[in-house]
Amino acid sequence: MSSLIKSSIARKVVMALSGLFLVLFLVLHVTINLTSVISPDTFNEWSHFMGYNGLVQYIMQPILIIGVIVHFVMGIVLELQNMQARTIKYTRYKGAANSPWVSRNMIITGLVVLAFLGLHFYDFWIHEMTYKYIEVHPEDPARYYTETVEKFAPIWRTVLYIISFGLLSLHLWHGFASSFQSMGLNNKYTPYIKSFTKAYALVVPLVFVFIAIYHHLNPITH
Amino acid sequence: MGILDSKIPSGPLAEKWTKHKNDIDLVNPANKRNIDIIIVGTGLAGGSAAASLAELGYNVKTFCYQDSPRRAHSIAAQGGINASKNYQGDGDSDYRLFYDTVKGGDYRSREANVYRLAEVSGNIIDQCVSQGVPFARDYGGLLDNRSFGGVLVSRTFYAKGQTGQQLLLGAYAAMNRQIHRGKIKSYTRHEMLDLVIVDGKARGIIARNLITGEIERHSAHAVVIASGGYGNLFFLSTYAMGANVMAAWRTHRRGAFFANPCFTQIHPTCIPVSGEHQSKLTLMSESLRNDGRIWVPKRSEDAKAIREGKLKPTQLKEEDRDYYLERRYPAFGNLVPRDVASRAAKERCDAGYGVNKTGEAVFLDFDAAIMRYGSEKALTSGLKNADNAHIRKLGEEIVEAKYGNLFQMYEKIVDENPYKTPMMIYPAVHYTMGGLWVDYNLQTTIPGCYAAGEANFSDHGANRLGASALMQGLADGYFVLPYTIGDYLAEDIRTGPIPTDSEEFNKAEKDVLDKINKLMSAKGSNSVDYYHKKLGKIMWNNCGMSRNAKGLKEAIQEIAALRKDFWENVKVPGEANTKNQELEKAGRVADFLEIGELFAMDALERNESCGGHFREEYQTPEGEALRDDKNFKFVSAWEYKGDPKDAKLHKENLIYENIELKTRSYK
Amino acid sequence: MKIYLKIWRQKDASTKGKIVDYTLDGIEGDMSFLEMLDILNEDLISKGEVPVEFDHDCREGICGTCSLQINGRPHGPDRLITACQLHMRSFNDGDTIVIEPFRAKAFPVIKDLIVDRNAFERIQQAGGFISVNTSGNTIDANTIPIRKENADKAFNAAACIGCGACVAACKNASAMLFTSAKVSQFALLPQGRIEAMERVQNMVRQMDLEGFGNCTNTGACEVECPKGISLENIARMNREYLSASLKG
């Protein structure tokens, strides 16, 4: 077991598992967000549940935060190790001839997504924490929809949002399928898994983007 | 017997080896720990010997010039490995394998050695399978066999077209296990430059570290030379670029006799030379002759037109083609043994029927096979009215399944599609049957110095059959040396470590350094390759597929003159105390320039034609080889006496008690 | 045709290297890439310069010795071949060709284009074998039938020539394809199952110790492998490793 923690394969599996966990979380996230377009009441209801349910707040939220941290810390550790594995670089290196751009630049797409996450945390999580625990406002089950839609009012934020999800899509395009390979799954079902993961990598970010544009174009009129 | 005692055990042929194993001395396991063995060369013979001896408990040091034992040229063997398993139930037996090998060698090999080879052949397959060698299997999960030239049973085990690779990786894995245990110390990028003899026994080697240029002394209680053959003296061959005779030749210079140097195998199906720049020839597996038909145009004007590119081979009508092997040898047709097929190709090309721009190529045509397989496939698929194009397509698919990788390799090199236009092939130097003379125990004439695999002369006589080289290398390394070397080492259990500061080591190292200095200080103007190419031309023209007294005498003169010029005018750039590939080559070519002369002398001495050795003066009226058993049924073993021209010939008479000598006929 | 070469020259492991320009004329398409380098070297020798050293041996694509990074790709532009099988007809008159050694921290340069691949040796020594002694009395080769499919897959993995193109191509200089090929060959055969757990753990440990990078599944190794070793082998090794670690 101890060898497992130190080995390169184990580190890859950690990346794969944390990545898959985040992929699952995205499904939940996109589903809740989608309700904001369909039914603001449902959105408020679900958001309130997520914000005040003890299980969600004290168990799932920390796990999610740990998942995000593990994924990006490990990603950076791996990248640093990989850079050290070739100290003298090639004068000419034709990576494009043998591998897709996304697979070679997970660190770029990953860091952009991470930067976006910073903004996202600032916008929502910090806001929530302040609202609930610092300023100690009373519960207001109807505030979420308005707060969310208002965030998309400025064009810069919407554009940033779209770019980030574009890069998330690229990140998922390689990462989701790759996680199966890392965990040792490569067999006759692999082509189907690949199709599914690629569809996911396109559809989920697209839905997020759609929601962002929708709210940007349909601001709440006071 | 005189000076050459083959030490063949007495008793019936089939019991000799068992009896011998029971008679020889053993070394107890505790004592083996105090005994060192040096093995030079890590191909099938050296690698398997190293692993087996280390398993027994000896301390083994291996040396190879490559950067890994896995790159020894055994890796390039394509076809397969023979074994008398009789898995196909076609009546194979140890005796039949023995018989075919002796006959294939044109009755110039030692009965007892060949029988032992056949006897252990089955063990080799068992051993390799247990090591995880992925031989081809059938759908029932059992091992598959195919048949090879010159025999009537299916006894060849194979792993696609990469049998040598898989067997070598098996031996390499066995070596790695012992390296991991600390029982083998592997010296890669090292080259043996001399053998050290102390009190008449081989006790070590001088080696050069090819990275640092350092000259190192290594001592041992016994030395095994498993450094392969010397075919690279022809410059162009199917050998690896680095393959050389240095270890064997320097051992010869220290007193080991060199046997049958003129017995060389020229393989009929290689990709022809394309120009002066060529550095290396590529083999196309013998298996292609199962389906390919060999031909040249009937009329020399057609051949000329093809050479000049005015006529395409596919345009030539069936009746204008000369399927010369089928014409001359109706019984065996395109599947005659290698020596016969090679000579026939040369005969046609010399007569002006060659088909590539150099005039040295014949066609190997798969068109008939494609159409035949295609029609069969159409029938079995229920396609009654398939047109020619469809049949051809089906046929091409089948040929691709059988030989796809070879066709692809051909296309890469020649830039022609062999499905559409016939392949061009020509014979090339491929293997040397000659080598260090060894007795039944594989010991050379120097006590404590052994030779295994292609480096010795023992089992193939004057011509080697396909799929026999892998068998011999592994037999020597896995199943012969581990026994016979113990018999010798049993006397050495009290010797203790051999010191490397003795006078003998000093002297050997000095000789080596003098030689290197001489090479480095020759301030001439010609590169090493210049001499190597010149030597190759002399060898190919005078000592190649057919030889005559006049040409051989000329060759002897020319090689001696070339050698003299080499030492005066060669130019070796760089320094001796760094990595220096030119210096490495120079040392190897210096040895080729000596063995080349001995080769020609041996060919001149042997006034008969047998196997790969064809003397134009000795042929039947139909142009077939004419053997002279009365006067030449012997192994020629040459003793080094300074200059190659002074080498002294010793003869080991071959005794045939179990096989009746016959003329090989493939008509 | 005329070719412009940019070749990495480095005197020895401790000296700093650099790219040096050469020009060659009269190159023909039928020449192999290495024969083109032979011509360059003959030219250099005649001028009294030190020739370019490069590893090569069999020149027929099976020994795995040649190790040239040609125009940014291991073994050059063509697929499923080694550098020695590459021919000059793959280039055009006036082309510039950059030739570098395979680059990885675990493959230090020895001289010019020659690298030290002993890291591969040590990985093999750590477990790339089946522990069976030579006896001549091992069980008959046909005692254990092996499914043809598994035998074929084992063969395909065993076809690795150990050239290091996978490492050279990988942006992370990872040796996963190389290591997994051996692990897979034995994992697929009943003879190899006995030690499968120890083997995969020992080989992976050694691989990590050698300083190769981590696999990020870019697939470059599979594309550049002259023998077409499949990524499936890496997945199999991951699987074997995980199950061995969890069980062991």
List, as one string, the DSSP characters of A73-128.
HHHHHHHHHHHHT-SSPPSS--GGGTS-HHHH-HHHHHHHHHHHHHHHIIIIIIHH
Provide, as residue numbers in chain B, all residues whose Cβ is less than 8 Å from the Cβ of C131: 177
Which of C63, C89, C111 marks a domain boundary?
C111
Q: Is the separation of the CB atoms in B536 and B558 below 8 Å?
A: no
The number of C-alpha atoms within 13 Å of B399 and in the hemisphere containing its C-beta is 28
Residue B310 buriedness (CB in 10 A; 0-12 / 13-18 / 19+)? exposed
Complete DSSP assignment for B561-607: HHHHHHHHHBB--S-TTS--HHHHHHHHHHHHHHHHHHHHHHHHH--
- pLDDT at B63 (0 to 100): 98
* Mean pLDDT for the stretch of residues A99-118: 96
What six digits make up the tokens of B385? 């009215």
pLDDT at B3: 78
User: Would you place residue A6 in the very low, low, confident or very high pLDDT band (cuts 50, 70, 90)?
Assistant: confident
How many whole angstroms separate alpha carbon A158 and alpha carbon B337?
79
**Out of A78, A85, A100, closest to residue C212 by CB:** A85
C57 to B529: CB separation less than 8 angstroms, yes or no: no
Instruction: Please tell me the predicted confidence (pLDDT) of residue A44.
Output: 95
Complex ipTM: 0.98
| pLDDT band of B523, cuts 50, 70, 90 | confident
The Cα A165–Cα A119 span in angstroms is 13
Whole-angstrom distance, CA of residue A15 vs CA of residue C217:
12
Q: Which residues lie below 8 Å from residue B521, measured CB to CB, with a gap of 6+?
A: none
Q: How many domains does chain C have?
A: 2
pLDDT of A1 > 50? The answer is no
Q: Tell me, what DSSP letter sits at residue C132?
A: -
pLDDT tens across B104-156, in order? 999 999 999 999 999 999 999 999 999 999 999 998 999 999 877 777 889 99
What topology is assigned to B268-429 in CATH? Flavocytochrome C3; Chain A, domain 1 (3.90.700)
Regarding chains A and B, contact by 3 or more CB pairs under 8 A is answered as no
**φ and ψ of C107, to 5 deg:** -115, 70
Tokens of C84: 């020695």
Which residue from B71, B138, B172 is facing C57, i.e. has the nearest CB?
B71
C58 lies in the same domain as C133: no
CA–CA separation, B339 and B361 (whole Å): 16
- B75 contacts on C by Cβ (under 8 Å): 58, 62-63, 161
Q: Do B76 and C56 touch (CB under 8 A)?
A: no
Residue B82: closest CA among B150, B166, B154, B171: B154
Q: Report d(CA B175, CA B51) in Å as an integer.
A: 5
Chain B neighbors of C110, CB-CB under 8 A: 211, 579
Cβ atoms within 10 Å of B622's Cβ, excluding its own: 7
DSSP state of B415: -
Residue B205 has pLDDT above 80, yes or no: yes
Alpha carbon of B635: minimum distance to chain C alpha carbons (Å) = 30
Q: How far is CA B386 from the centre of its chain?
A: 46
Binning pLDDT at 50, 70 and 90, where does residue B383 land?
Answer: confident
Give the B window 470-499 contacts with C, CB below 8 Å.
Answer: 478-479, 482
Report the distance separating Cα B135 and Cα A104, nearest Å: 38
- Distance of residue C104 Cα from the nearest chain A Cα, in angstroms: 4
Check B173 against C154: CB less than 8 A apart: no
d(C-alpha A14, C-alpha A28), whole Å? 21
Do C64 and B70 make contact, defined as CB atoms within 8 angstroms? yes
Chain B (272-311) residues lying within 8 Å, Cβ to Cβ, of chain C = 274-275, 277-280, 282-283
Neighbours of chain C (3+ CB pairs under 8 A): A, B
In the sheet that holds B293-297, the strands lie side by side as B264-270, B423-432, B362-365, B293-297, B321-322
Residue-wise pLDDT for C71-121, tens only, equals 999 999 999 999 999 999 999 999 999 999 999 999 999 999 999 999 999
- DSSP-derived letter for residue C29 is T
Q: Do the chains contact at C56 and B134, CB–CB below 8 Å? A: no
For residues B497-518, give the mean pLDDT. 97
Residue B20 one-letter amino acid: H
| CA distance between the termini of chain A | 60
C220 and C140 part of one domain: yes
Of C205, C219, C235, the CB nearest to A99: C219
Q: What is the mean pLDDT of chain A?
A: 93
> Could you give the residue ranges of the DSSP H alpha helices within chain C?
33-46, 118-127, 148-158, 165-169, 176-187, 190-193, 196-209, 220-224, 232-247
Partners of C46 on chain B (C-beta within 8 Å) are 525, 527
Q: What is the pLDDT of residue A23?
A: 97
Give the residue-averaged pLDDT of B526-534.
97
Stretch (H or E) spanning A55:
helix A54-55
Position A125 confidence tier, pLDDT thresholds 50, 70, 90: confident
User: Which tens digits make up the pLDDT trace of C141-198?
Assistant: 999 999 999 999 999 999 999 999 999 999 999 999 999 999 999 999 999 999 999 9
Upper half-sphere CA count for residue B651 (Cβ side, 13 Å): 11
Q: Which residues of C touch B141 (CB under 8 A)?
A: 145-148, 151
Give the pLDDT band of residue A5 (cuts 50, 70, 90).
low
Contacts of C212 in chain A (CB under 8 A): 8, 85
C110 reaches A (C-beta below 8 A) = no
CATH number of the structural domain spanning residue C56: 3.10.20.30
Mean pLDDT along residues A53-58: 92
Q: How far apart are CA B313 and CA B418, in angstroms?
A: 12
Q: Is the CB of C246 inside 8 Å of chain A's CB atoms? A: yes
C98 neighbourhood in chain A, CB within 8 Å: 91-92
pLDDT at site B386: 86
B657 pLDDT exceeds 90?
Answer: yes
Share of chain C above pLDDT 70, in %: 100
| Best mutation target, C96, C171, C206, C212, to test chain A (most A CBs within 10 A) | C171
* Chain C residues close to B529, C-beta within 8 Å: 38, 42
Cα–Cα distance, B486 to B488 (Å, whole number): 5
Are both C218 and C147 inside the same structural domain?
Answer: yes
Mutate to test the interface with C, among B32, B177, B476 (most CBs of C within 10 A): B177
Percent of chain A with pLDDT over 70: 97
Q: Which of A46-60, B7-21, B39-53, B494-508 has the lowest mean pLDDT?
A: A46-60
Q: Average pLDDT for residues B616-627, to the nearest whole number?
A: 93
Q: Which domain holds residue C141?
A: 118-247
pLDDT of residue B403: 86
Report how far apart, in Å, the C-alpha atoms of B428 and of each of B104, B279, C99, C246 are: 19, 13, 31, 55
Q: Which CATH architecture has domain B505-624?
A: Up-down Bundle (1.20)
CB–CB contact B581 C53 (8 Å)? yes
Give the tens place of pLDDT for each residue, B297-340: 999 999 999 999 999 999 999 999 999 999 999 988 888 889 88
Query: How far is Cα C82 from Cα B310, in angstroms, rounded to an integer?
Result: 34
Third-level CATH fold of A2-84+105-217: 3 helical TM bundles of succinate and fumarate reductases (1.20.1300)
Tokens of B580: 């220096």
**Pair of tokens at residue B599:** 């080769």
B415 interaction partners in chain C (CB closer than 8 Å): 29-30, 87, 89
- B52 close to C (CB below 8 A): yes
Query: What confidence score (pLDDT) does residue B440 get?
Result: 98
pLDDT at A222: 63
CA B467-C140-B58 angle, to 5 degrees, is: 80
Catalytic choice (B71, B116, B338, B464): B338
DSSP B123-189: HHHHHHHHTT----B-TTSSBP-B--TT-SS--EE-STT-HHHHHHHHHHHHHHHHHHTTSEEEE-S
Q: Which helix (H) or strand (E) holds B297?
A: strand B293-297
Q: What is the crossing angle of helices B481-489 and B44-56, to 10°?
A: 50
Hey, what long-range contacts does A153-161 have (CB within 8 A, 24 or more apart)? Answer: A153/A216, A153/A219, A155/A216, A158/A212, A158/A213, A158/A216, A160/A116, A160/A119, A161/A116, A161/A208, A161/A209, A161/A212
Are C42 and C148 found together in one domain? no
* Same domain assignment for residues C105 and C13: yes
d(CA C28, CA B644): 40
**Sequence letter at residue C122:** R
Annotation says B338 is catalytic: yes
pLDDT of res. B667: 80
**Using CB atoms and an 8 Å cut-off, which of residues 88-127 of chain A contact chain C?**
88-95, 97-100, 103-104, 106
Q: Which residue of B has its CA nearest to C53?
A: B581
The CATH number of whichever domain residue C188 belongs to comes to: 1.10.1060.10
- Decide if B180 touches C, using CB distance below 8 A: yes
Size of interface A-C (CB pairs under 8 A): 146
The nearest alpha carbon in chain B to C49 belongs to: B573
Question: Are the C-beta atoms of residues B86 and B55 closer than 8 Å to each other?
Answer: no
Please give the average per-residue pLDDT across B387-399, as a whole number. Answer: 93
Closest CA to B139 of C152, C185, C190, A11: C152
Predicted confidence band at A4 (pLDDT cuts at 50, 70, 90)? low
What percent of chain B has pLDDT above 70? 100
The closest alpha carbon to B248, from B235, B260, B238, belongs to B260
More confident residue, B593 or B152: B593
| Residues B254, B448: Cα–Cα separation, whole Å | 13
Cite the DSSP H helix spans in B381-453: 388-414
Instruction: Point out the residue among B141, B179, B578 whose CB comes nearest to the CB of C148.
Output: B141
Q: Which of residues 187-226 of B touch C (CB under 8 A)?
A: 188, 211
pLDDT of A3 above 60: no
Q: B–C: how many Cβ contacts below 8 A? A: 220
The reported pLDDT for the residue numbered B1 is 41
